[in-house]
Structure 1
């Protein structure tokens, strides 16, 4: 195994032409240079220099090593520069897989914060609902997954995954603006038992059925869709009403619909998930901190 320090000294000896000149340029003693060159020759198994008068001449092996040394040392310098940039957060790539409303709110706000102090960090956005987002994290498709869960509907995650709580997102009932209950600040869920409903993703739909059961009724679900904009459009035409997270309404709000809190309050828990070993990667930790900051500013909204 070649020692990079010995290789660098060898490169300098070749450049300046003697052990003594290399010692002066590198700040070593001449015996130290001699010992390093002997160690390098032992490592390669053949002599690298021959004496010609008071000077040095490269052997055939020395000439071959000299040609490679410049390339190897150049690659090492480039690697050190890149690794220094990654450690110093001057560059880095972080892949974030989030559910749609988080990709439209939390992630862009976090990126905006990063651009101020760390413009070299690059964030790639992927989209998926939990639990598939966790599966993508485990497969190595992403570095951070954003997911959500509901009280009583918790999904276990593997031991190698760390969950970082971000915020609680209040669920609201989406009503047409002319609906009799739209004038209230909050609406008891049981008073909506006779309504037609539009349900969302499988996890949200499971929670919806659960909270309705807690209020002793089974909702009449007439439409299901994962498209939040489609849900609002269906509400505006009177097709039904919907239970929707407040995070969605912060960026999608049709002029003919209104959101009202339901009683009892129902919240979904939004979290970031990351592999335990990746918490030590500077760029991943930085993006995670930015997500925590923007979520804390929205928590409970």
Structure 2
């Protein structure tokens, strides 16, 4: 009789594996902590997911990450393991040798202890559980080795329960209902979108709309686990290909660098030359030729901004002194410009350029074809309902963000029409 699989969806070994993978972040590190081989850890996790019919972990940005249903499984495992650890601490007070309960105890140990405590006989407990008496006796010896103290003493009329057995039986009665109810808990989760949404962001890209889209998703889909991280293009593209993230946002290139990736445009933007508002260059410069001796802050090579910058000055046969800009947010890059004499080439959508920091000013120099596009990069074959919901929220957020500008433009056109009519 396999007590673990007959009565419980997860073995306690599987619980230990799941909990340790969560703590360490990788199966390899978990195997070291548990003193198990990595194949053994992988097998235990796979068997647990098959038994529960859920995915507990998914590959993430810096290791494995729990899914939303995985969070429920992990919480359940941790609660049971903490109860076991607390019982071990109590039992440790009676002996000096270190105990092994938390590392090796399984359901059969606790179930057999509880059965013997209840009936006071190894043979009767064996009959009750449908196993042999030698199996019961062998299990009792294993438990005594774990707790380093007797669990029963013999008497004419049967076995006398020792304090250790009472504590272990009480432990079983506390945690067994938690384990047995796990499947029901998972099945009764709301039928809403669940899983992970991990979004990468290139420098300066959508920091003002992603949190709003995230907030809307949180309200509608409590079962989605949200993440956002920043990084350079090649890092995010590789992370997307490997399934560590689900998508990333930023300035669109002339096409993704990998055939399995696709780009979806979201928001029109334009390149802009920015300097601090009191910079004398605003009065002195009329064309790009007037800027060649200035100090510049521009994104590094391999980015659309740098490609555009190089094309600007290549056309006038002059490349000015440059410092690569590694800042990740508009706020930090703008602060750098405010506190320096440098000029920066940045990009803004219509709303952000109108909301420019008053300590900054756009240079009144027309740029050739300054239009650019902010978009989202997806994996061609991995576009889940969660990602689709996120894209819809992004589009709605962008629409709401730009609507006041559109309303102002519409009002201005209406006023012009009325003025023409009145003039006529």
TM range (shorter): 0.5 to 0.7
Q: Please point out which of 120, 123, 131 is paired with 2:226.
A: 123
Q: Please point out which of 168, 174, 181 is paired with 2:274.
A: 174
Query: Which residue is equivalent to 1:138?
Result: 241
Query: Which residue is equivalent to 1:8?
Result: none
More strand by share: 1
User: Distance in 1 between the 2:351 and 2:324 partners?
Assistant: 18
Q: Please point out which of 291, 308, 320 is paired with 1:220.
A: 320
Q: Please point out which of 199, 204, 210 is paired with 1:107.
A: 210
Closer, same or farther: CA 296–235 of 1 in aligned 2, 3 Å = same
For residue 391 of structure 2, give the secondary structure of its aligned residue in structure 1: helix
Give the CA deviation at 1:255: 4.5
Closer, same or farther: CA 143–276 of 1 in aligned 2, 3 Å = same
Query: Which residue is equivalent to 2:382?
Result: 278
Residues 33-75 of structure 1: CA deviation (Å, up to 9, x unaligned): xxxxxxxxxxxxxxxxxxxxxxxxxxx9xx79xxxxx999966
Residues 193-239 of structure 1: CA deviation (Å, up to 9, x unaligned): 4433111233122321123324x242312422212555434433443
User: Distance in 1 between the 2:361 and 2:266 partners?
Assistant: 26
For residue 288 of structure 1, give the secondary structure of its aligned residue in structure 2: helix
For residue 376 of structure 2, give the secondary structure of its aligned residue in structure 1: strand
User: Distance in 2 between the 1:71 and 1:100 partners?
Assistant: 46
Give the CA deviation at 1:119: 4.2
Residues 106-137 of structure 1: CA deviation (Å, up to 9, x unaligned): 21121133244334433111111213211110
Q: Please point out which of 259, 266, 269 is paired with 1:159.
A: 259
Question: Where does structure 1 lack aligned partners over 5 or more consecutive residues?
Answer: 1-59, 65-69
For residue 278 of structure 1, give the secondary structure of its aligned residue in structure 2: coil
Residues 236-275 of structure 1 mapped to structure 2, 5 A cutoff: 236-246=338-348, 250=352, 255-260=358-363, 262-275=366-379
The answer as to whether partners of 2:279 and 2:341 remain within 8 angstroms in 1 is no
User: Distance in 2 between the 1:187 and 1:81 partners?
Assistant: 67
Give the CA deviation at 1:256: 2.7
Question: Where does structure 2 lack aligned partners over 5 or more consecutive residues?
Answer: 1-126, 132-176, 406-424
Closer, same or farther: CA 107–230 of 1 in aligned 2, 3 Å = closer
| TM-score computed with the length of structure 1 as normaliser | 0.60
Query: Which residue is equivalent to 2:200?
Result: 97
User: Distance in 1 between the 2:317 and 2:183 partners?
Assistant: 68
Q: Please point out which of 268, 291, 300 is paired with 2:394.
A: 291
Closer, same or farther: CA 236–145 of 1 in aligned 2, 3 Å = closer
The one of the two structures with greater contact order (alpha-carbon pairs below 8 A, sep at least 6) is: 1
More helix by share: 2
Query: Which residue is equivalent to 2:300?
Result: 201
For residue 263 of structure 1, give the secondary structure of its aligned residue in structure 2: coil
User: Distance in 1 between the 2:272 and 2:210 partners?
Assistant: 22
User: Distance in 1 between the 2:389 and 2:401 partners?
Assistant: 19
For residue 326 of structure 2, give the secondary structure of its aligned residue in structure 1: coil
User: Distance in 1 between the 2:345 and 2:275 partners?
Assistant: 9
User: Distance in 2 between the 1:169 and 1:294 partners?
Assistant: 16
The answer as to whether partners of 1:197 and 1:240 remain within 8 angstroms in 2 is yes
RMSD: 3.9
Query: Which residue is equivalent to 1:232?
Result: 334
The answer as to whether partners of 2:268 and 2:349 remain within 8 angstroms in 1 is no
Query: Which residue is equivalent to 1:211?
Result: 312
Moved more, 202-211 or 128-137: 202-211
Give the CA deviation at 1:240: 1.7
